[in-house]
Amino acid sequence: MESITVYDIAREANVSVATVSRVLNDTAPVRTSTRQKIMAIIEKHKFQPNALARSLVNKKTGMIGVLFPDSSNMFFPEVFGGAERAAMKLGFTLFLCNTFSNFSRESEYLNLLCERQVEGLIFMGGRINSRHCPELLVQEVVDIQKRIPIVLINGSLPGHPCHRVKTDEYAGTQLIMQHLIDRGHRSIGFLGGSAETTTTMEKLQAYKSTLGANDLPFRKQIVRLGDFSMECGRKLMDQLLSMPNCPTAFLCINDYVAIGAMKAAISHGLRIPEDIAIAGFDDTQLAAAMNPELTTVSQHSEELGSQAMALLSRLIQKEKVKKLTVLEPKLIVRQST
């Protein structure tokens, strides 16, 4: 199982490590007889031209770390898929780390990825979406950024300039709210998300402003936060359906919450969209799979990933790149509204 290193080859050939490295990387001429001796040893031991050893010489690893909050929400594997396709074309390899949005796991992985000498980082979720992130954790990322290019997806580090790719979730929320209002709904509930998360607050602001722009009142009691899960959608919808003035439509923080809400509505004997309209966010593959199919907002998940990777590649090549790339969201009208 043990493989030999450049050190072993150098010893066996009775040459310096530098000479072995020159042969491996073809960076400088080496006497033919020496080269042949080294090649024979490499052949004999089936030596893998060692990317690690090479990276010590070139200071390049071709590796990109991806911090990513949750592989069980399809949105994130979709973003990752886009980043991966772009990375493959650009000659990079991605190193996926599932942080479960846990700050200390994030720190652990950041440390590990720096140790692994990644050439760049893509960061999603966790602290970059946190409204009350301790300054120490922000500083940790800022410090790494001095040495390694970082691109944030759908997040930011307040007070520190960063390279960011995001979908305009504010505009996306306006789009879907206006769609519900245009369908005649006057009372629209807001379900799921967390008050600790910047993206939730952004969507909530857009929800309020669209109500205002249409002369509709904001009613606190039909805004119910929680988390981002199907279970949360089910529970919150159950609560609201037992209220006297239950809304006729619901905007959910994401597709998962929307599906939970649909399930609760169906189990109460309601028809979607005839009795109640429900809309999601993200346009994950779940949305089109549902019955009825879910109206939602596309964040262009794959493109978020591929754009972040393209940007990072340019940063690694020390090109000047604008700080913020914004993708326009797209309303996807299906059967649930």
Neighbouring CB atoms inside 10 A of 152's CB total 24
User: Please, which residue, 208 or 263, has the CB nearer to a second copy?
Assistant: 263
The tokens for 127 are 């602290």
Is the Cβ–Cβ distance between 281 and 206 less than 8 Å? no
Rounded Cα distance, 285 and 269, in Å: 26
- State the minimum distance, in angstroms, from the CB of residue 275 to a second copy: 15
- Least spacing, CB of residue 185 vs a second copy, in Å: 22
Residues present in the chain in total: 337
Smallest distance from a second copy to CB 169, Å: 23
Cβ atoms 254, 172 nearer than 8 A: no
Which residue, 286, 274, 268, 282, is CA-closest to 335? 274
Tell me how far, at minimum, the Cβ of 88 lies from a second copy, in Å. Answer: 8
Nearer to a second copy, 168 or 227 (CB): 227
Cα 163 → chain centroid: 14
To a second copy, the closest distance from the beta carbon of 10 in angstroms equals 12
The contact set with a second copy (CB under 8 A) reads 1-3, 5-7, 46, 48-53, 55-56, 59, 61, 63, 71-72, 74, 77-78, 80-81, 84, 93-98, 112, 114-117, 147-149, 230, 259, 262-263, 266, 285-286, 288-291, 316, 318
* 330-332/296-298 β-pairing: antiparallel
Q: Which is nearer to a second copy, 144 or 206 (CB)?
A: 144
Q: Which is nearer to a second copy, 42 or 259 (CB)?
A: 259
Q: For the residues of 143-197, what is the DSSP string, one character each?
A: HHHHHS-EEEES---TTS--EEEEE-HHHHHHHHHHHHHHTT-S-EEEE---TTB
Nearest approach in angstroms of CB 146 to a second copy is 9
**For residues 201 and 270, which CB has a smaller minimum distance to a second copy in the complex?**
270
Nearer to a second copy, 207 or 228 (CB): 228
> What does the alpha-carbon distance between residue 245 and residue 318 come to, in Å, rounded to a whole number?
58
